[in-house]
Structure formats: structure tokens, C-alpha cells
Amino acid sequence: MTNKPPTQRSIGRPGLTRARVLACAVELADRDGLEALTMRRLGEELGVEAMSIYGHVANKDDLLNRMVDAVFAEIDLPPTSAPWRDALRHRSVSFREVLRRHPWAVALKGSGTNPGPATLRHHDRVLGTLLTGGFSLELTAHAISALDSYIYGFALQEKTLPFTTEHETAAMAETMLAQLATTEYPYLVKFTATHVLRPGYSYGNEFLFGLDIVLDGLERAREELHSTDK
């Protein structure tokens, strides 16, 4: 019994740490969606009264902020060894995979949160990749806006789709076709019937096409920047 001051860990029931609260909250949101994540339900999942959670988190908003930062911590940072394009392509693919694992994070991004350390670190590394890769300050701003907009938007659209497997897609398309007024939406009908119902269709495959368009555009802008320098 030394005169050790009370630590964060000593607050709350033994075994209940902030890390465990966060991990459980993320798992609950993954499994049952953001609307299932209530303080009471989370407490239940942790084997604890809802109010005990407030020992490790200021309030629900604080919990959500920390969850977003935990998600950012999962994203691969752009490897410093690779050239800017490969480095950012790698982290972009990782970013998208993480957002697919945690779709609720996209919605949470929409509410004004103040960034945690993992989020700041992520952005710092992406900035570094561009600034040391031959991008001007202005072009770096353009690049991050274009790239992250595309990734977030793709994740948002992917999350909205009510189907995942090819079979589900086909079933959904069939019912949609049956309801649609053929004369009123001719292109929608044609597109659904001949493209979406095609065997092998999966929306997820679209990601790389758009990503490479954005990266190509950035590379072109970067080259232009250096050719005018000469």
C-alpha cells in the first residue's frame, strides 16, 4: 500500500477499463448498428450498470468521438518507403476496408467531432506524403479534399445498399424492376435489367476505378506543377 495516487484505471468496477468500454461499443455498433448503441445496452453488454460507463467516458458524445478515433487507428498509414501514389493508394484501400467494417463511422464523421490523436496522426502522415512527394501547399489541399471526399462518399453509398452478396443484389433488382414504371424510368429499367442483374455484378468492385481516376488526376496536376517550374 504505497501512497500511489488514484489512477484512471481505479475508477469504475475492476476489470472495466476505458479500452474495454471502447472495444465493446465498437463491436456492438458493428453488429447491431449505431441505433442499438445505447448507454443502457452497452452497460448490459459489459455486465455493468449504465452509469458505471460514465467513469470512463464523459458522456455519450465523448464515447462516439473516441470510437471514431479508434476506427482511424485501424487504417494503415501511407508507407514512407513508397512513392506518393503507391503510398496513398495503399492507405486509401485500407481506409475503405476499415469503413466497410465499421459503417457507422461514416455517419459519425458527419457530426462535428473534434479529432483524436489517431485521427491527427493519420492526417499528418497523409499531408507529409504529399508535401514531400512534390505537391505544393495548394495542390496538397486539393488532393486531400478530392481523395477523402471520394473515399467517404463511396463508403456512404456502399453502406446504403441493402444487399451484400450477388444473390441478394439480383433478388433486390428483380423486385425493383417489378415495381418500376417502365415508361417513366426507361434508363433505370434498362440499366437494372441488363447491367445490375448481370452475373458477377458487385458494387464494391467500383471502388478502384474511381480511386485511380482521382490519383491519375492528381499525378497530372503534380506533373504540370513541375513542368512550369522549369
Residues found near its own copies in the complex (CB under 8 A)? 106-107, 109-113, 120-121, 123-125, 127-128, 131, 137-138, 140-142, 145-146, 148-154, 156-157, 159-162, 180, 184-188, 190-191, 194-195, 203, 206, 209-210, 212-214, 216-218, 221
Q: Which is nearer to its own copies, 16 or 67 (CB)?
A: 67
CA distances from 144 to 30, 31, 61, 69, 152 (A): 27, 31, 27, 19, 12
Q: Which is nearer to its own copies, 55 or 217 (CB)?
A: 217
Strands (E), the chain: none
Q: Of 34-73, which residues contact DNA (CB under 7 A)? A: 37-41, 48-52, 54-55, 59-61
Q: In sequence order, what DSSP letters do the residues of 90-130 get, joined into one string? A: HHHHHHHHHHHH-THHHHHHHS-----HHHHHHHHHHHHHH
Minimum CB separation of residue 117 from its own copies in Å reads 8
* Contact flag: residue 112 with DNA (CB under 7 A): no
Q: Which is nearer to DNA, 61 or 212 (CB)?
A: 61
Q: Which is nearer to DNA, 63 or 75 (CB)?
A: 63
Place of cell 435489367: 193
Q: What share of the chain is helix, strand, coil (3-state, %, to 5)?
A: 70, 0, 30
Minimum CB separation of residue 74 from DNA in Å reads 24
Give CA 139 to chain center in angstroms.
24
Q: What kind and span of H or E run contains 160?
A: helix 137-160
Sites of contact with DNA (CB under 7 A): 6, 10-13, 37-41, 48-52, 54-55, 59-61
